[in-house]
Amino acid sequence: MSESTSSDRLSFNRAAFLAGGLATIGAALPQGSRAATPSLPAGVTPERLLGRLMAGNKRFVDNDFPNANKFAEKRELLTASQAPFAAILGCSDSRVIPNLVFVQGIGDLFVARVAGNFPDDLVTASLEYSVEHLGTRLVMVLGHEGCGAVKAVYSAIETNSSLPSHLSELQRLMGPGIAGVVKARGTEDAAVEANVRAAVARLQKSPPVLSSGADSGHLLIVGGIYRLGTGEVRLVE
């Protein structure tokens, strides 16, 4: 591969996540109306939206990015409102960028990121906003291999110690969900998955918006684990 080709691909990949999903949102808009309010097509189930999300991840793994264009048109369509089809609660880790991981563009994902991808009240409120006011029907808690926050909490529980300063809040929130893994001398990867499961359960039981949506089937709340080496997201059953 020539240097120019490699450089072009690098620049292309940096921008590609902004272009994904343009056709889907465009299809939901009235023909010829550039200023119309975007909305999700009626009758689309959360399970179909999850399929769209995971199909995007497969494209990411395969290094198959869309043509990065029409940025100005997409921005203009979304100046008055937004209708993200999925919300992602992800870790703040710089290696895990949800719009890239799922090859989605401007307006497609509502993203909350916090170290350890575990919801406190503020994060939960953000996700509630996405569901209640933006019409989002899918929420994914996205953990990842080698999570430093999980590792820190795991170590603190293992040594019966407390994390310093504000990190203690991570321990308070995440500790109960991974304590069983530590007690069983499980791996840190097992703790990452346990943390995702606990976060999903917390959101599913959070009243009134998230719990009612999950109970009715209007909202799907799932977990996933991102593999750093391959870029693949594995769904957590």
Q: What is the mean pLDDT of residues 174-191?
A: 97
Bridge partners (DSSP) listed for residue 233: 226
Q: Has residue 11 got a pLDDT over 50?
A: no
Paired residues of 226 in beta bridges:
144, 233
Predicted pLDDT at 38:
55
CA separation for the pair 221, 124 (Å, rounded):
12
> Over the stretch 67-110, which tens digit does the pLDDT of each residue have?
766 778 888 999 999 999 999 999 999 999 999 999 999 999 99
- pLDDT 10s digits, 12-57: 343 343 334 433 333 333 333 333 345 677 678 999 999 999 999 9
Q: pLDDT per residue over 99-143, tens digit each?
A: 999 999 999 999 999 999 999 999 999 999 999 999 999 999 999
Q: For the chain, give every domain's residue range.
A: 3-236
Residue 11, judged by CB atoms within 10 A of its CB (0-12, 13-18, 19+), counts as exposed
Of the chain, the percentage scoring pLDDT greater than 70 comes to 81
Which pLDDT band holds residue 66 (cuts at 50, 70, 90)?
confident
What whole-number distance in Å separates Cα of residue 58 and Cα of residue 82? 25
CATH architecture of 3-236: 3-Layer(aba) Sandwich (3.40)
